[in-house]
Structure 1
Amino acid sequence: MRMITRSIPVAALALCLGTAALSAQEPSNGTFQWYVGGQGGAMIFRTPDQDASAIPTFGGQALIVAKRTGLLLSVEEAVGSDEVSSYSDAGGVQSVTFNDIRKYSAVLMAFPIRSAVQPYLGVGYGIMHVVNPQATGLTGSNGIANELGSTGFGTFLGGLTFQLGRFMAFGQYQVTTAPSNDVVTDEAGIIVATGRLLEGPTHTFTGGLRFGLGSAREGAKTGGY
């Protein structure tokens, strides 16, 4: 899991840069467009040792739109302070503290109707992890905390967007699936720790602006579109 976690920022950057080469059609005016933007809001999460809490979140995204469908790639950082969690090992329950939660999402989008204020829906997948968790128990391990603090998720989102010149203002809600318990084993395959640092689904409410970077198909407009 640590290798996966370390590779996430590189993969996210490659995905965002790769959007420049993809074709898209903006749903409201029929021209091929792609967008980059930013958002801010709040994430609600829970841990084994902490009830549901809301912390501020911010991030960036790239949106490619094709007819009434699209692909949204986003990276978000939810900024907390001294959040608490735990996992179990042979020595008992080991406490862990962390501050931030980082989330990477890839979502297939649908724009079902065309109107001045346009609704959209999306389903996708992503990876989420707590940033730099610190094990505070007597036999706790930061390495184990890192592994149990990272999880994949399925996601659903819905929102509203409207055009402001070359800008696209939006507000949206995103929910992720709850992670299942994980186990950490040693080289002999013996279980040394179990649990998850995050528990239950997360709920994120955000708003922001996307900026249109122009046509992604300027060289192919004489075709059938």
Structure 2
Amino acid sequence: MAQHVGRWPLLQGRDPVDVLAEHGLAGEPLRAVRGPADEVELHYEVAPREVVAAPTPTPTPPGARRTQRLGAYAVVVDEGRLLMSQLADWVPGGGGLWTLPGGGIEPGEEPLSGVVREVHEETGQTAIAGNLVQVQSAHRVGPDASGGRSHEDFHAVRLIHLATCPLPTPARVVEVGGSTGAAAWVPLGQVPGLQLGDMVRRAWPFVAGGESYPV
């Protein structure tokens, strides 16, 4: 029988993994459910956290181009379907992967405005952006995707927001020539069967109605 270990508030912008670590735990997401006050509860299967040495950062090759990109993305669920976008085939290292709609924030743009704009460009939906629920960080050192130099040191910071779509329509890509190749409303049960980008796996605890972690 499962044993209840603890219940802790998740403040805006905090990662559940960090909260568990503060209590000496590590775990895997099980489900997201609505609580009695209509709050979202994230349920995890946990175990004592193993203390390991911090990984050694990948060194930046001499002359590598260093880039940091801030992006905003949306978790949009409607009637048991998750709004998703598929990266175009030409995207280096990610072509064909399904991910959350969103993208880079333009200089001076508010993140919430960026979420709304990107969701429309990638899926044709008019969204209402809500709370920030997760901040993801992804670091890669490797061949320069632009072809301008031999290597790049790329750091992506992703702001994950909950969002709603009051009047959902068939998903379609609006921005021609961008990094999005396709868009779809995907039934939650079918999400684990897709080729998923890491962003979806990490944000899955915030997908309302998601019963299992997509592996």
Tell me which interval the TM-score lies in, with the shorter structure as reference length.
under 0.3
More strand by share: 1
Considering only CA atoms, is the larger Rg found in Structure 1 or Structure 2? 1
- TM-score, L = length of structure 1: 0.25
TM-score (norm 2): 0.26
